[in-house]
Amino acid sequence: MNRRDFLNTAGVLGISSAINSESVFGQTNYEIMMKPLKKIITIEEHFVLKKISQRAAEFNSKQNGGILSNDPVQKELMAIVLPTSDDIEDVGNRRIKFMDESGIDIQVLSYGAGSPQNITDRTLAIELCQEANNELAGLIKMHPTRFAGFAILPAADPNSAAEELDRAVKQLGFKGAMLSGTFNGRFFDEPEFLPVFSKAQELNVPLYMHPAIIPKSIAEYYYKSDNWPSVTSAMFATAGYGWHLDSGIATVRLIASGIFDKLPNLKLISGHWGELVPFYLNRLDDQLGKTLQLNRKISDYYKSNIYVTPSGLFSEAQLKYVIEELGADNIIYSGDYPFLIDKNTRGFLEKATISREAKEKIGYKNAEKLLHL
């Protein structure tokens, strides 16, 4: 053995010895940390119902003069980011096969692209949201140990949306609801939407604040340029960056509106590691906080009322940062299936160099507590 090989071997043995030097009840700390988790629950997993999405598209086309969008750039983007119909429309064997192969025990399902949430016709929005929730409840009943659900709500009528949330939780057994983007150019901190948040607090269920397409004027101002292809502008404005920034702003707006002073027990969920907000809590406190008349600091509301999920962004650096900033109690696991199909979903968390306690909280315990699973 030459000197280099000897030193490399000695180094490996030294690291191994250090890892295994401390033990608990006969097991090394390393073995405890790497032990398989009891279960994995992921809570930002999407599905669509073909008939519902078609009816939503038909209504939206009428708003556009009866013409469905035929924009070639949009089509190119959708070909890149959208999952196959087989994957997103299936709430059965195909999805369960992926879950088994990826080590996922339970998915909490929410409506994906083509959602009727933002249909501006109140009657149609209520009808389609109720129909979608009923159908999802039926699908969950076919596999009750593998699936749970978040309701979809008709934002056009906030009082009816609150009633639908009540029905979905009490009658259909849903675990909360998802709100995507904005409604008709208005963020959800507007007073008109307060009944939905009040009902969520009353029912003790969370609302998942999910990104969505941002207004064209904003997309063009921030993300369009002659320096890159049009499809790059479209991606930059959506999944590449834009809608995450927009969704993070929506969360900060809710805090700034004083909603948690009105509803101190309200719980929200923010995906993609909190849509950039956890990385700026100090700055928000230090600057924006100077101008607000709130009972607590922005970061205090965030850490007590908001949970974050990775949404399939399996970066250990981001995981560790968010644990350091928010604590493992504020993180719930998610994979963003089938927009991301990653069979390393379980493996990432189990192999992460964080404590066993943190893995258990993130992997399933926090979800069980928050969603009453």
Q: Which residues are catalytic?
A: 336
Residue 24, strand partner residues = 27
SS3 label, residue 147: strand
205, burial (CB in 10 Å: exposed 0-12, middle 13-18, buried 19+) = buried
Closest CA to 145 of 109, 105, 180, 110: 105
User: Which residues, including other chains, have CB under 8 Å from residue 246's CB and lie 6 or more apart?
Assistant: 181, 182, 211, 212, 214, 218
Residue 220, CB-side half-sphere exposure with 13 Å CA sphere: 3
**In whole angstroms, what is the distance from residue 184 CA to residue 126 CA?**
16
Helix axes 242-256, 298-305, angle to 10 degrees: 100
- Amino acid identity at 272: H
SS3 label, residue 223: helix
**In whole angstroms, what is the distance from residue 328 CA to residue 319 CA?**
9
Q: What is the DSSP string of 239-303?
A: TTTHHHHHHHHHHHHHHHTTHHHH-TT--EEE-HHHHTGGGGHHHHHHTGGGG---SS-HHHHHH
**Residue in the block written with tokens 């295994």:** 20
**In whole angstroms, what is the distance from residue 141 CA to residue 185 CA?**
36
